[in-house]
Amino acid sequence: MTAEAPDYKDTLNLPKTDFPMRAGLPNREPFWLERWENIGIYQKLREKASRKPFILHDGPPYANGNLHIGHALNKILKDMVVRSQQMMGHDARYIPGWDCHGLPIEWKIEETYRKKGKNKDDVPIVDFRQECRKFADGWISIQREEFKRLGVTGNWENPYLTMDFKAERTIAREFMKFLMNGTLYQGSKPVMWSPIEKTALAEAEIEYHDKESFTIWVKFKVTDNEDAELNGSDVVIWTTTPWTIPSNKAVVFGPDIKYGLYEVIARPDECWANIGDRYILADNLAAGVMEKARLDETMYRRLRDVSVESLTTIKLRHPLFSAKEANGEWDEIRDFRPADFVTDTEGTGFVHCAPSHGMEEYELYRELGMLDEVITYNVKDDGSFRDNLPFFGGKYILSRKGGEGDANKAVIDKLIEVGGLLARGKIKHSYPHSWRSKAPVIYRNTPQWFASIDRAVGDNKDEFGVTIRERALNSIDKLVSWTPQTGRNRLYSMIETRPDWVLSRQRAWGCP
Q: Which neighbouring-strand residues pair with 251?
A: 336, 352
130-139, 263-272, 394-403, 500-509: range with lowest mean pLDDT: 500-509
User: pLDDT confidence of 87, banded at 50, 70, 90?
Assistant: very high
The four Cα atoms 73, 77, 82, 84 give a dihedral, to 10 degrees, of 150
Indicate the residue type of 87. M
Which sequence spans correspond to the domains of the chain? Answer: 31-163, 179-183+452-502, 205-439
Query: Would you place residue 1 in the very low, low, confident or very high pLDDT band (cuts 50, 70, 90)?
Result: low
Tell me which fold the domain 31-163 belongs to.
Rossmann fold (3.40.50)
Q: Of 475, 415, 404, whose CA–CA distance to 442 is shortest? A: 404
Across 98-122, average pLDDT: 87
What's the CA gap between 367 and 338, in Å, rounded?
Answer: 13
What is the spatial distance between Cα 234 and Cα 323, in angstroms, rounded to a whole number?
Answer: 17
In the predicted model, what is the mean pLDDT of residues 445-464?
A: 91
Q: Are the C-beta atoms of 261 and 280 separated by less than 8 Å?
A: yes
Identify any residues that bridge with 304 across adjacent strands, giving them in sequence order: 261
Please state the pTM of the whole predicted model.
0.76
pLDDT digits (tens, 9 = 90+) for 239-293: 999 999 999 999 999 999 999 999 999 999 999 999 999 999 999 999 999 999 9
| pLDDT level of residue 114 (50, 70, 90 thresholds) | confident
Q: Same topology for domains 31-163 and 205-439, yes or no?
A: no
How far is 146 from 383, CA to CA, in rounded Å?
39
C-alpha neighbours within 13 Å on the C-beta side of residue 369: 0
Q: Which of 12-21, 55-64, 130-139 has the lowest mean pLDDT?
A: 12-21
pLDDT at 342 over 70: yes
Write down the CATH superfamily of domain 205-439. Answer: Valyl/Leucyl/Isoleucyl-tRNA synthetase, editing domain (3.90.740.10)
Give the pLDDT score at 129: 93
CB 257 within 8 A of CB 306: no
How far apart (Å, rounded) are the C-alpha atoms in residues 413 and 407? 10
User: What is the percentage of the chain residues whose pLDDT exceeds 90?
Assistant: 71
